[in-house]
Amino acid sequence: MARGESGHLPYAGVGPLYVVAIIGVTVLGIALGQLGLIPCVGWPVPNAARIALGIALVVLGVAMWLAAFFGAGIDDGIRENQLVTTGVYAWVRNPIYVAFAMACTGAIVMADNVWLLALPLLFWAFLTLLMRHTEERWLLDLHGSVYRAYCERVNRCIPWLPRRR
């Protein structure tokens, strides 16, 4: 899905592909573990702590999605061809995708299978490759040095306080 002829970014981009893929892999992994089709090794921590961590990750994912989608005005930014760098976008460049990965990781944690913890690493790698070869190139073409400076200040996938120059 390349940029439109008008030089305008697509509204959906590659996001739906990423989101559907990680949700599908998460559901499949959990189901295969529950059915005994893949090995299941429980966490060496109390169930209450594991469940609390899983719930916290899901809640943080939902909160990040809400902040990115409704709080930062991403739709307006895309419609107006403006780079959004405020709100949650000042903490992470891809908060909507990261929110889904965080929520899927929470579900994986609650599934109580240590083997499934490899999936969030795959989600991160997939997101990194996908962004480098699509949206980041589009944004660099469209916004040039402004986008390059934003990338130097803000992480792609890990929410963190922005770096100062």
Q: Of 83, 61, 94, which Cα lies nearest the Cα of 149?
A: 83
As given in the structure block, the two tokens for residue 36 are: 């005994």
Q: In Å, how far from its chain's centre is CA 45?
A: 26
| pLDDT, tens only, 44-70 | 999 999 999 999 999 999 999 999 988
| pLDDT, tens only, 93-136 | 999 999 999 999 999 999 999 999 999 999 999 999 999 999 99
- The rounded distance, in Å, linking the Cα atoms of 116 and 139 is 33
As given in the structure block, the two tokens for residue 12 are: 């959906």
In this prediction, residue 41 carries a pLDDT of 92
**Unique residue bearing structure tokens 């992994």:** 29
In this prediction, residue 73 carries a pLDDT of 72
In this prediction, residue 126 carries a pLDDT of 95
The SS3 of residue 134 is coil
Rounded percentage of the chain residues whose pLDDT exceeds 70: 90
- The rounded distance, in Å, linking the Cα atoms of 78 and 46 is 45
- The rounded distance, in Å, linking the Cα atoms of 154 and 42 is 35
- The rounded distance, in Å, linking the Cα atoms of 17 and 9 is 16
Contact call for residues 88 and 72 (beta carbons, < 8 A): yes
